[in-house]
Amino acid sequence: QLQLQESGPGLVKPSETLSLTCTVSGGSISRPNYYWGWIRQPPGKGLEWIGSMYHSGSTYYSPSLKSRVTMSVDTSKSQFSLKLSSVTAADTAVYYCARTYSGFEDFGYWGQGTLVTVSS
Amino acid sequence: QSVLTQPPSASGTPGQRVTISCSGSSYNVVSNTVNWYQQLPGTAPKLLIYNDNQRPSGVPDRFSGSKSGTSASLAISGLQSEDEADYYCAAWDDSLNGAVFGGGTQLTVL
């Protein structure tokens, strides 16, 4: 059973960089044809796609966040990571990591999510 | 304002059939596949429908997806109390070159 678990600070100061890691277990992060992604959800609001990546390192970012987002993968640790720079209160959200089920953006496996609050 | 437009709320009684719409454009719904997610309170979203009308293993056949032109729909038949949740449609948008979600529909089972 594939499992994903987000980890990282729950509180980040404005203008700093948010850093999260997703640890994958129960399956290989290098398995072909699947993509790994980050999705966020501000409190009481809807879902927003942040970006996706392939185990080879190819990345695809949301146009609205592209200038601030970096995603990377460490296959030796079965982890992939998200960095979001210059955060503001608007970046306060539950951040989910996920893997696709069949295609490029059909996320069929999700972590439980982690709340990141941006506040001084 | 979401690129994909969903009604903010929907409701039905147990046993009823309910449909939730997702209105998009030629850049997303028409040219790419639509996925649907169910999010129960306090939990991560769950993939309900992918590739417009395919159900992942384990999803009951009470849930079905369809698409016509610039709109997609999620139908839930034999409505149950445990179906009370938020539902989101999603698709790739060729204009934005990114994945987009609808604003979500809160389903209430009366």
In this predicted structure, what is the pLDDT of residue B76? Answer: 98
Percent of chain A surpassing pLDDT 70: 100
Residue A8: pLDDT over 90: yes
> Are B50 and A102 within 8 A, CB to CB?
yes
In this predicted structure, what is the pLDDT of residue A66? Answer: 97
In this predicted structure, what is the pLDDT of residue B95? Answer: 94
In this predicted structure, what is the pLDDT of residue B1? Answer: 78
Do residues B97 and A63 lie in contact, with contact meaning Cβ atoms separated by under 8 Å? yes
Count of other CB atoms within 10 angstroms of residue A4: 24
Whole-angstrom Cα distance, residue B102 to residue B110? Answer: 24
In this predicted structure, what is the pLDDT of residue A97? Answer: 98
pLDDT of A68-88, one tens digit each? 999 999 999 999 999 999 999
Chain B contacts of A97, Cβ < 8 Å? Answer: none
Q: What is the DSSP string of B14-64?
A: TT--EEEEEE--TTTTTTS-EEEEEE-TTS--EEEEBTTTBPPTT--TTEE
In this predicted structure, what is the pLDDT of residue A55? Answer: 87
Residue A104: pLDDT over 90: no
Chain A contacts of B2, Cβ < 8 Å? Answer: 46
Residue A103: pLDDT over 90: no
Comparing A43-47, A53-57, B38-42, the range with the smallest average pLDDT is A53-57
* Contacts A–B by Cβ distance under 8 A: 65
Whole-angstrom Cα distance, residue A67 to residue A55? Answer: 22
For A5, the token pair is: 């678990």
